[in-house]
Amino acid sequence: MHNRFLLFATKRLLFTIPQLFAVSVIVFFLIRLLPGDPSYMLAGPYASPDRIVEVRGQLGLDQPLVTQYFNYLARIFAGDFGTSWRTSQPVLADIQLRLPATLELVVLAVLLSIGIGIPLGVAVAVSEGGVLKRIVFLYGMLAGSLPDFWIGLLMILIFFYFLGWAPPPVGQLDFAVSTPDHVTGAYALDALLTGNWETLRSALAQLVLPVATLVLVYMPLVLKTARSTMEEMLESHFILQARASGLSRRMQLRYALRNALPPIITVIGIEFWFLLGGAVLVETIFAWGGLGQYAVESVINSDYAPLQAVVLVTAFFTTLVFLVVDLLYHLLDPRIRV
C-alpha cells in the first residue's frame, strides 16, 4: 500500500512541474496585455526616445520572445522578481514581508471553517429536523453569494462603530503596539513564539473581524458539502448493512464520515484556492497590508512587476494546495489514479 502511495505521489509531483512552467508562461505573457509597447508605459509619459530605447534594452524587449521568456525564467529562479517603483524595493523583499500576513489570515479562516463547518454539517445530517436544520440549510444557500467586502464593512460598522468591541481596522497591529521579533513574519504567531503578550493580544484582537468575515462568507461551502455528503452516506447501502448487523450508532457514524471525507477535502481545497484570491478584498477593507492589498495598490499605481509576481506566487500556492488535496484524496480513497 505504501508503495502504491509513493508511486502515486511521484507521478502527481512530476505532473506539477509542467503545470508550474505553464503558469510561468502565462504570467510572462500577462505583461503583454499592456496596451502598446510596455517600454513606453514603464518609462513614463515624459521619457525621451533615448530613454525608451534604454528601457527596452533593460526589459530585453529587443530580443526574440523565446529568449525573453528564458531570461525571465532565469531571473525568477534567481529570486529576482524586479523592483517595485512604488516602494522602490525588490519585489521579492516586499512579498516576503507581506505573504505571512495573508497566509495567517487565509489559513486561520480555512481551519475555522473546517472546525465549525464539518461538525455542524454532520450534526445537521444526523438530526431529524427542527430549527437548527432549517437555519443551517438556509445559511448553506448563501454559499458563494455574499459579498465579502460588504460583510467586512458591516462587521466594522457593528462591532467597531456601534458596539465598540473591536479595535479600529488599521491592519495587523494597533498603532501603539510594537512589532514582534521576526520569526515567521506572521505577527500573532511570532508574538506567541517570542512570548510578547502585549503584541499577541493586539494581533489576535485585530485578527477577529477579518477572520470572522472570511469564515462567515466562505464556510457555507464546507458546511453544505459536509451536510449533503453525510446525508448521502447515511442513506447508503453500507450503512444499512452496518445497522442491520447491529453496529452501534457511533460506529455507523464513523464509517459514514470516513467515506464522506473525500468530497469534503476537495471542497476545502477549492476554498483555499478561492481565499488566496478572495482575501484580497477583505485585506483591503481592514488595511491588512498583506499580499492582496499589495496587488491592489500595484494595480492602482500601474506598478506592474509586483502585480506579475503576486499572480505567480498565488498560482504557485494554488498548485501546491491542489497537490496536497490530491495526495490526501489518494490516502483516503486509493482507487483514484493520476
User: Measured from the CB of residue 254, what is the shortest distance to other proteins in angstroms?
Assistant: 28
Calpha distance 7→221 (Å, rounded): 32
Q: What's the CA gap between 76 and 164, in Å, rounded?
A: 46
User: Judged by CB under 8 A, which stretch of 77-85, 115-123, 204-212, 311-319 contacts other proteins?
Assistant: 311-319
Site size toward other proteins, by CB under 8 A: 49
All residues at 6 or more sequence positions from 15 whose CB lies less than 8 Å from its CB, including other chains: 338
Q: What are the beta bridge partners of residue 58?
A: none
Applying the rule CB under 8 A, the residues between 137 and 156 that interact with other proteins are 141-142, 144-147, 149-150, 153-154, 156
DSSP character string of 83-116: EETTTTEEHHHHHHHHHHHHHHHHHHHHHHHHHH
84 bridge partner residues: 89
List of long-range contacts for 226-229, beta carbons under 8 Å, 24+ apart: 226/117, 226/118, 226/120, 226/121, 226/122, 226/125, 226/260, 226/264, 227/121, 227/122, 227/124, 227/125, 227/136, 227/137, 227/140, 228/125, 229/260, 229/263, 229/264
User: Hey, which residues does 89 pair with through a beta bridge?
Assistant: 84
Q: By rule CB under 8 A, what string of x and - marks binding of each residue 193-232 to other proteins?
A: ----------------------------------------
22 binds other proteins (CB under 8 A): yes
Can residue 284 be called a binding residue for other proteins (CB under 8 A)? yes
Q: How far apart are CA 219 and CA 144, in angstroms?
A: 10
Of the listed pieces 43-51, 179-187, 234-242, 293-301, which binds other proteins according to CB under 8 A?
293-301
Shortest CB 230 distance to other proteins, Å: 17
Residue 200 in grid coordinates: 499577541
Q: How far is the CB of 43 from other proteins (least distance, A)?
A: 17
The least CB distance from residue 285 to other proteins, in Å, is: 7
Answer for which of 70, 161, 165, 197 binds other proteins (CB under 8 A) is: 161
Task: Kindly state whether residue 169 participates in binding other proteins, applying the rule CB under 8 A.
Answer: yes
Among 75-83, 84-92, 181-189, 269-277, which window interacts with other proteins (CB under 8 A)?
A: 269-277
Q: How far is the CB of 130 from other proteins (least distance, A)?
A: 18
Which residue in the set 314, 325, 329, 330 belongs to the binding site for other proteins (CB under 8 A)? 314
Bridge partners, residue 90, by sequence? 83
Binding residues (CB under 8 A) for other proteins: these are 19, 22-23, 26, 30-31, 33-35, 141-142, 144-147, 149-150, 153-154, 156-157, 160-161, 169, 273-274, 276-278, 280-281, 284-285, 292, 295-296, 298-300, 304, 307-308, 310-311, 314-315, 318-319, 322
